[in-house]
Amino acid sequence: MSAALRSILEGFGKPHIHSGLAIRKLGKSLYKCRTGLAWSLVFMAQKGVLTFDFAGDHDEVENYLRGRK
């Protein structure tokens, strides 16, 4: 497992760590986090499970989110 994924899994649910991970809530159970300066991951959170759904740069993530509506 990559270091970025491990840090998200370990930090989710800990608000003081979230600020360093740049986790943003996008919807009821949809979240986005930055893994670097130009790369973001989109994931769904359900009790006890994080399901990663998409990875890309800012524009790719925005296009992906528009397509989900």
Query: What whole-number distance in Å separates Cα of residue 27 and Cα of residue 16?
Result: 20
- Listed in sequence order, the residues at least 6 apart from 8 whose beta carbon sits closer than 8 Å to its beta carbon are 21, 23, 33, 41, 43, 50
Q: Which residue has the higher pLDDT, 5 or 43?
A: 43
pLDDT tens digits along 7-60: 666 666 665 554 556 788 888 899 988 776 778 889 998 888 889 889 888 899
**Residue 23 C-beta-side C-alpha neighbours within 13 Å:** 23
- Looking at residue 59, its pLDDT comes to 92
pTM of this structure? 0.66
| DSSP helix/strand/coil, 49 | strand
Q: Are residues 46 and 29 in contact, defined by beta-carbon separation less than 8 angstroms? A: yes
Domain interval for residue 51: 3-68
Q: Which residue has the higher pLDDT, 6 or 23?
A: 23
Domain tally for the chain?
A: 1
Query: What whole-number distance in Å separates Cα of residue 60 and Cα of residue 38?
Result: 11
